[in-house]
Amino acid sequence: MSAAVEVEALEVSLDRTPILTGVDLSVSAGEWVNVVGPNGAGKTTLLRALLGLVAYDGKVHIDGLSSQRRSVRAQHLAYVPQSPVIPQGMLVGDYVLLGRTPHRGIFAAETATDTRIATEVLERLDLGGFGERAMQSLSGGERQRAVLARALAQQTPILLLDEPTTALDLGHQQDVLDLVDGLRRERGLTVIATLHDLTLAARYGDRVAILSEGRVAACGPPDGVLTVDSIAQHFGAHVRVLRDSDGPVIVPTATTSAHATSAAPAGRAATQNGDHS
């Protein structure tokens, strides 16, 4: 299968501080890859490099193109940022229609097709009837879904999601990720998402890539990548990994309980040995 996104030896520095120091990543057309990593690992920077929003060294190929022009990439990549900039007073419907700009130009009026696509996307994201509301009037979860709606209205073959479940309750987290997965299967979308929730990263998508110390430290199926040892090494977290048919479940463990067990083994052992009930 051809690569929709190909990154080789990607290096990015911000304010002269190295953020990415040699990232290699290949994502096939129609594949969903979740990028995880500790805070400050450069996950958002990686997505912004794919979009051409930051200067970089190395190679980035999008659908076989190497052009860094943002107008060209906008026809191939749609982006859901973690902290979008939303103009004051903008209506939801107008905001979602911005996703159609790459198809008609900045100054051209929207067409009936643009309006139909925007309306359909809002309905699918449970935002039907929200078109005349101001973006600032929405709750955090509603706003996040509106931002996703704008990206989906863009109808690109590749979708970049930066923490798409931020501010969403559990039900809407599932709704949004299920919707993205459904559209991926219907349209053959390629999805690259950053996620903090490792269980969600394991249960949605095909592969997980751990970004750590400026590089991809591991990449592969969730079962092989999200292990107790790898999570301890790259996240500094103590966890249990439960296995079920839908993928690994990552459960934090309390380090204090481990300390208590090691601090008083004799007394506990005596109690256990003396109690045979």
- The greatest distance separating any two alpha carbons of the chain, rounded to the nearest whole angstrom, comes to 83
Q: What does the block give as tokens for 236?
A: 């500094």
Q: Is the pLDDT score of 1 beyond 90?
A: no
Residue 244 forms part of a structural domain:
no
Residue 176 forms part of a structural domain:
yes
> What pLDDT, on a 0 to 100 scale, did the predictor assign at position 228?
95
- By 3-state DSSP, what share of the chain in percent is helix, strand and coil, each rounded to 5? 40, 25, 30
Taking only the tens place, the pLDDT of each residue in 126-144 is 899 999 999 999 988 889 8
Domain count, the chain: 1
Residue 67 or residue 246, greater confidence: 246
Taking only the tens place, the pLDDT of each residue in 208-237 is 999 999 999 999 999 999 999 999 999 999
Paired residues of 21 in beta bridges:
11
Q: Is the pLDDT score of 109 beyond 70?
A: yes
Domain residues for 42? 3-227
Residue 151 or residue 175, greater confidence: 151
Q: Is the pLDDT score of 270 beyond 80?
A: no
Mean pLDDT of the chain: 87
CA angle 208/209/210 to nearest 5° reads: 120
Q: For residues 3 and 131, give the distance between their C-alpha atoms in angstroms, rounded to a whole number.
A: 37
Residue 67 forms part of a structural domain:
yes
Q: For residues 131 and 95, give the distance between their C-alpha atoms in angstroms, rounded to a whole number.
A: 9
118 with 97: CB under 8 angstroms?
A: yes
Residue 272 forms part of a structural domain:
no
Residue 252 or residue 66, greater confidence: 252
> What pLDDT, on a 0 to 100 scale, did the predictor assign at position 242?
94
At 225, give phi and psi (nearest 5°): -95, -40
Q: Is the pLDDT score of 5 beyond 80?
A: yes
Beta-carbon-side half-sphere exposure of residue 128 (alpha carbons within 13 Å) = 5
Residue 102 forms part of a structural domain:
yes
Residue 157 forms part of a structural domain:
yes
pTM for the predicted model, two decimal places:
0.85
Edge-to-edge, what's the strand order for the sheet holding 207-212? 77-80, 158-162, 190-194, 32-36, 207-212, 215-220
Q: In this structure, what CATH number is given to the domain that contains residue 112?
A: 3.40.50.300
Q: What does the block give as tokens for 81?
A: 């940022």
148 with 173: CB under 8 angstroms?
A: no
Map residue 153 onto helix, strand or coil.
helix
Taking only the tens place, the pLDDT of each residue in 51-99 is 989 999 999 999 877 656 777 788 889 999 988 889 899 999 999 999 9
Q: For residues 148 and 124, give the distance between their C-alpha atoms in angstroms, rounded to a whole number.
A: 11
91 with 133: CB under 8 angstroms?
A: yes
Residue 271 forms part of a structural domain:
no
Residue 78 forms part of a structural domain:
yes
